Amino acid sequence: MDFNPDKVQVGLADNIYLLDKYSRQICRLDSEQDVIFYGSFGRGDNSFFEPVWIGFTSDGLWVLDRTENKLGQLDYRLNKIRSIELDNKTYPEQAAIDPFGRFFLSSHQYQMIHGTGQSNVLDGAIIELNDYDDIMSCASDFRINDNGEFGLLTFCDGMVHIFNSIGKRIQVDKVSLNNPKYLVPIRNKWLILNEIGEGEYLFTNKYVQLPGIVGFIKDAISQNRTLIILSEDQVLYLNVPTF
């Protein structure tokens, strides 16, 4: 099977979940080497049209299908539970989940970040990016840290914009790292990474070089105090220094 994952998440019992946007499939890998696949291309009950993101809450795995404007919920064994059609047709490219389990969706097309209520139904814009003259329309990553703060990385100018939990911008920093692509909250810090494993901690001017990277980084997340890297050939768990 031709499966080339773009996104990684880690769920219950440290099972690894991988999303291949091109084949529209999700794969679950467990510690006993049991492999489960879910999905295909299309608009059927067990298929996706344009899956762009996966993430976890206590209710299971969630999948954002951009073109369909839907959030799909799966259990930990990739059995479908339900789909939620988003009210506003903003076709979000990215999503994040705050410490309270609420979804926030980022639409580059409409230059806004939407908040969601407890029912996970789209609840209106919390951040209108067009209100800021200095935010470029080239966001490459959008994350939420453990304090509920939003981080937005714009790759074309190397800027990171931090917003508080009610959508007010509180910090801005210029990244000196070449070709920044990933914004990862870890241990109360923000780590910026590029595809070759070079990293910079926001607001510190401190740099790291990730060891053991094979090929290019395709995704990066954190879990507790561990950095989890998806590259072309592996999923790598790293403990990295913080400053």
Distance CA 37, CA 40 (A): 9
Going by pLDDT thresholds of 50, 70 and 90, the confidence category of residue 65 is very high
124 C-beta neighbours (distance < 10 Å), count: 11
pLDDT of residue 121: 44
Q: Which of 1, 10, 56 is nearest to 235 (CA)?
A: 10
Average pLDDT rounded to a whole number, residues 123-137: 86
Report the alpha-carbon distance of residue 54 to residue 76 in Å, rounded: 12
Residue 118 reports pLDDT greater than 80: no
What confidence score (pLDDT) does residue 2 get? 83
Q: What is the mean pLDDT of residues 157-162?
A: 97
- Please give the average per-residue pLDDT across 31-38, as a whole number: 87
Q: Judge whether residue 13 has pLDDT over 60.
A: yes
Pairwise CA distance, residues 138 & 175, whole Å: 15
Is-contact 115 104, C-beta < 8 A?
A: yes
Block residue for tokens 């595809």: 195
Q: What is the pLDDT of residues 200-243, one digit of tens each?
A: 999 998 999 999 998 999 999 999 889 999 998 899 999 988 77
DSSP string, 174-194: E--SSS--EEEEETTEEEEE-
Q: Which of 34-38, 85-89, 138-142, 184-188 has the lowest mean pLDDT?
A: 85-89
pTM: 0.92
140, 153 Cβ separation under 8 angstroms: yes
HSE, CB side, 13 Å, CA atoms: give it for residue 166: 0
Q: Is the pLDDT of residue 171 over 60?
A: yes
Domains of the chain, earliest start first = 181-243 (2.40.10)
Structure-token pair, residue 133: 């003259």
pLDDT at 88 over 80: no
And the tokens for 77?
């064994």
SS3 sequence of 73-97:
EECCCCCEEEEEECCCCCCCCEEEE
